[in-house]
Structure 1
Amino acid sequence: CRHRGINDLCLYEEVNIEKTGLIIDGAALYYSLYYTSDPKLDQRCGGDYPGFKDEVCNFFKTLQDCEVTPYIFLDGGSDPDKHKTLVYRRKDTEEKAKTIATTKPEDVVPKGCNVLPPLVKDVFIEILKEKGIEFKQCLGEADPEVVSDANQKQCPVLSIDKDFYIFDLCKGFLHLDNFEWKRKKDGKIPAKLYTRSKFCKHFKLDPALMPVFASIAGNDYSILKDNGNFANESSSSGEYSIKRLDGILRFLSKVNLHGLNDSQKRERALSQALNHVGKKENQTFKLSIQKYVQPEKPSSKLPSWVRKKVEIGKLTTSVISVVDQKSMMPPVLVEDFSQRSSYTAAYPIRQYFYKLLTKDVQALLPDLSSHRCVSVVHVSILSVWYLSVQAPEGLRRRVFEEALQVQTSALENIPDQLKLPVCVTVFWFNNLKLGQKAETVLHALLLGFVCDPNSPGWSQLLQRQTAAGLWFCVTETLSYLVCRGRV
């Protein structure tokens, strides 16, 4: 809504992007590419990863043709201060997932009803590696590093995150909605460039107050509930949300800031805004403002070698959530919400993985006497690294067998490409819950073994066999996670 309002006010400059560096918010990019593809990529049956790869490759090929050098930053663990916001968003995503799951294949899913398939980020990272595109997976939210690198490299930022209207970016912000890479001409990409200076000049607002505006207007950390006071002061003809933002900007532009430094300006503006609507001083707004003034890179308890592997995409960021926050919030799946969650299928495996990360598992390791002074968390992380990098095959096989509760010695006569699916099959049948039909699971697995997922009729087949399609998609996901140590 705010983005549309800025477009309506023409607070941008028409530009053609060529021969430049470009800092890209990776999460925003893969969300946008998946949701805006034409034809629309599947969300009902677990995801269309080949189609997604084509879209991503076409995007970066366009950048290459226009001599644009991309630098990708990906989010890591979520900010603990945003937990309530994330829980609220998850509930909203679950409602969308229910809508998608119950919409008939021949019907159109309501506009804006999108749920990202669970492995899109993993596939995106693999494509970046394959193409040799420079990227960094951050330990926390990417915003601080995006802003820092953009100003250091003197490059604009490409994202859909409205926070980049607020940050002080020396080369401005390109919104993905207006980055028309599919309309490139003569080696140039039409786009709209937003700068904070142009915004402030239009609204006669001191740039130092942009963080105050964002804090009271509403973001992931705070929102000032003003009961319509600001909207009533606006002369804008737009809808309520636009009138409210216009009213806030008008109010802030009238605050007397004479003789104050930037910090004092923000303090006075916040105090007067709170008083204006009868609210008391609140530390939440101050913390929210500070995240724009001095965006800090998140710290982590992870050892340096683990952080490095996270940054280059060799370790999943779930490691950060499990070790630092002792919590995990898996992505929402499009499934039958009247049945058990598909995540219950892999629960024992995830539990095993979490124990490796959070418990002292020296029993799995050879003598670690030289590491006795290391904390339990460090020893646990060390064990995961040892198992995945240095451990002999026998030990890795033992851990694999314990996780999947199978004996790999029984697989000698099974073709190599089927060994993992067979292990997963045994695991599932050993963990069937009351009410789950074994024949449905078997049907799903057989579909996976005998059908080509890239065949033209595959999507239609899965849509006709909803339960079987769901189980197979989870099998594929589980197999991928087990292979990569990402459960």
Structure 2
Amino acid sequence: MGVHGLTRFVEGNNQYFTNIRLRDCRLIIDGCSLYFQLYFSSGLDQARGGDYDTFAVLLRQFFAALKECAVHPFVVVDGGMDQTDKKFSTLLERTKNKIKEAHGLSRGARGYVLPLLTSQVFKQVLLELGIPLVQCFFEADYEIASLAKHWCCPVLTNDSDFYIFDLKGGYLPFSSFQWNGVSGKATERFIPARLYAVNSFCSHFNHMNKQLLPLFAVVTGNDYTPSKITEIFFSRVELERVPCSRRSGKSGNPQIQGFLLWLSQFTSPEDALEEVLDILGGNKGNFHKQLSAGIKDYQLPHHSSLAQYFSSPQPALPDVQGLPVTLVSQPGWFLRMVASWKLPSFVLDVLVHQKVLLVTQVENSQLPSSNATSLSIRKTIYRILLENAANDREMAVQIGGRGDTKRQSQGKRGPYGSMVVDEFDRHELCLKKTSVEAHRPSSVPPLNLSSIEKASVPTRLQVLLGTLGVMEHVLLSLPPHLCLVVCATYFWMNNGKPKPTQPLLQGILMGFVYGELSWRKTQPNDPLNCSSSSSSVCQRLYQLRVSPGQRRGLDLGVSHSLSQWQSCMLMTMFLNQLLCCPLLEPQCAWLFSGTLLHGLEAAIRSGQSCASLLAGEPVAWQLFCTLSQALTGPVRPETSRGRGAGQRPPQQRGRAHRKRGRSNRNSGGTSTDHALDNRFALLNFED
């Protein structure tokens, strides 16, 4: 939720904290806060699409530091938008701000825009390390605080609401959590940190009743409080004027400090609330309802359902009490996959609200949003999720489901009766809502949530490949863990506008090869683990990286195309997950490095050949050829040189090859080498 201005006020004063040596304990981690803070505090690339390989290394180092100090992490991440929709206006404003920040980054300014696949990398690394993990159905703050209270252990996050929650184990702000400064003897290693406790904080304000803090948070203003309440109250209340010498912290916020001192005169929250309502005046009944609802969000239960979830040897069915009917009616396998984060929060927003906020990337804001490229994939996802939505809602209502029965049982429908989802996405520098029909291609067999788990792998694969327009025989020669990424790349090649250039496609394939070599070098029993030729190729490619801190000279055309690729990759992964993974999920950290791809594209466009960049390691060249053939046809070394920026394939020859390529793809045959001399003309590439 976040209390406005409270983080700066509290963290500016050391007296509100206790220095501790964290070791040998449980630690509840706000997962979303962790990956945001780690990424932005480490100077990793944002403008060129993100460096996921470097981020994955950082994550492993973080959890290695916890393990060294016998700290046992339990990670909780946010789910979908709040079912009451009371925070939606706040989310809209944040999305608008991110559009502006992304535009600024594209022009060399500073900003904070998280690269699109960051959360997927985070999840994959945690699963690899065996870190206990749960995804809430909605916002995680309340669940995190409830679990921390149940276990009496500290919380690591960067959310000002945790200055309000009364937690015996305390709150560790990420800003003062020195995980990379592990100290102490070998048997007593610890992480230096600062611990916040509510009792200590209240002692600095005339030992005020800590039960007054929720009222303080709601009136001061959080993501759920109507701004009108805050404005009216502070325009009318008479607060003690705090001299500069007595102001707490670097911010010295006199309004927050004055309000805390004002509250300290009350012995009970009820008396304070009554006084606040008198000051607000007007419709006291409505204000009372709004303030009471906000205060309730900070009142924690004695037990946490997550404690049972984490203690179960097998993923337990989450507690569905209080969930909207659209979730209660869903099959158990679906709810388990959501809770274990094997399905994204995206599916929750579609089911519960029939609306999604699409993430803006750093791209050319004069062109359509990069999310437009993956639209047809999302339509299939919507159709699968909403196929039986109306029937599910009616059934849930009959068995006692809660919520707005009339609205939820009918759902949103288009002019011809089809289910629709409202997408909020960038249009130039504004946020625009578009109603999208839930639709699947005619070649895709019907499938919905009630039938997915029982459907055969070939049927689920047919839905995936049919949506992406990929023939199954294309996958036969590929390593299983690269099949899905080739499918997503094929879809991007055919749907990206402007069409991807030859140097960029080759650069992306080279990036896959680099990732494969890098991964295999980490495997102790792999032949490439100690291969000097493999190391030489990796080093050669690594040296082409653009510096992450280089803000000038951004190739906006390359950035826009790579943003389209990431959008296609993400939605392909979501569809694959929804279909219970008929194809293996690729490791995103080994697939994409924005600074490397920008450097590779520039090198190939300037005339360096892929064969020369991969020279010396037959495995690297063979993999490049295999990937390229799956996408565009056989590779000949003499044709693997990138074109200059102004060069185009001869138009007459290109049309002939496009025609021949289409007939071969339809028949499942293979073109001759002569027919594919200019293989990129098959897909009508435009430089």
| Common topology (TM > 0.5) | yes
Matched-pair contact (CA < 8 Å) for 2:361–2:563:
no
Match of 1:200 in 2: 202
Whole-angstrom distance in 2 between the partners of 1:229 and 1:157: 36
The 5-angstrom pairing of residues 323-472 of structure 1 reads 323-360=351-388, 383-384=448-449, 386-387=451-452, 389-409=453-473, 411=474, 415=478, 423-424=487-488, 427-428=491-492, 431=495, 436-438=497-499, 440-451=500-511, 452=514, 455-459=542-546, 464-472=554-562
Q: Is structure 2 residue 172 aligned with structure 1 residue 174? A: yes
Whole-angstrom distance in 2 between the partners of 1:173 and 1:424: 42
Matched-pair contact (CA < 8 Å) for 1:309–1:315:
yes
For the aligned residue pairs, the C-alpha RMSD in angstroms reads: 3.2
The 5-angstrom pairing of residues 98-137 of structure 1 reads 98-103=103-108, 109-110=109-110, 113-137=111-135
Matched-pair contact (CA < 8 Å) for 2:20–2:194:
yes
Match of 1:190 in 2: 192
Q: Point out where structure 2 has 5 or more consecutive residues left out of the alignment.
A: 305-320, 390-397, 400-408, 412-437, 439-445, 516-540, 579-687
Matched-pair contact (CA < 8 Å) for 1:231–1:244:
no
- Of 469, 478, 481 in structure 1, the residue corresponding to residue 568 of structure 2 is 478
Matched-pair contact (CA < 8 Å) for 2:374–2:567:
no
Matched-pair contact (CA < 8 Å) for 1:12–1:195:
yes
> Closer, same or farther in 2 for the Cα pair 1:244/1:385, shift >3 Å?
same
The 5-angstrom pairing of residues 1-400 of structure 1 reads 1-9=5-13, 10-37=15-42, 40-79=43-82, 80-103=85-108, 109-110=109-110, 113-186=111-184, 187-204=189-206, 205-222=208-225, 223=227, 224-225=230-231, 226=233, 228=235, 233-237=240-244, 242-255=253-266, 257=267, 265-276=268-279, 278=281, 280-281=283-284, 282=287, 283-294=289-300, 299-300=323-324, 301-302=326-327, 303=330, 304-360=332-388, 383-384=448-449, 386-387=451-452, 389-400=453-464
> Closer, same or farther in 2 for the Cα pair 1:421/1:284, shift >3 Å?
same
> Closer, same or farther in 2 for the Cα pair 1:31/1:230, shift >3 Å?
farther
> Closer, same or farther in 2 for the Cα pair 1:468/1:274, shift >3 Å?
same
1:100, distance to aligned residue in structure 2 (A): 0.8
Matched-pair contact (CA < 8 Å) for 1:20–1:155:
yes
Whole-angstrom distance in 2 between the partners of 1:279 and 1:400: 57
Whole-angstrom distance in 2 between the partners of 1:448 and 1:148: 45
> Closer, same or farther in 2 for the Cα pair 1:382/1:139, shift >3 Å?
farther
Q: Structure 1 vs Structure 2: percent identity of aligned residues?
A: 29
Q: Point out where structure 1 has 5 or more consecutive residues left out of the alignment.
A: 104-108, 258-264, 362-372
Higher radius of gyration, 1 or 2: 2
Match of 1:260 in 2: none
Match of 1:262 in 2: none
Whole-angstrom distance in 1 between the partners of 2:451 and 2:547: 44
Match of 1:261 in 2: none
Matched-pair contact (CA < 8 Å) for 1:274–1:280:
no
1:230, distance to aligned residue in structure 2 (A): 5.4
> Closer, same or farther in 2 for the Cα pair 1:203/1:345, shift >3 Å?
same
Please, what TM-score do these two structures have when normalized by structure 1?
A: 0.83
Higher helix fraction: Structure 1 or Structure 2?
1
SS for the counterpart of 1:313 is coil
> Closer, same or farther in 2 for the Cα pair 1:336/1:63, shift >3 Å?
same
> Closer, same or farther in 2 for the Cα pair 1:422/1:266, shift >3 Å?
same
SS for the counterpart of 1:27 is helix
Whole-angstrom distance in 1 between the partners of 2:20 and 2:175: 14
User: 1:354-402 CA distances to partner (integer Å, 9 max, x unpaired)?
Assistant: 11101239xxxxxxxxxxx99999xx99834754x55334322321233
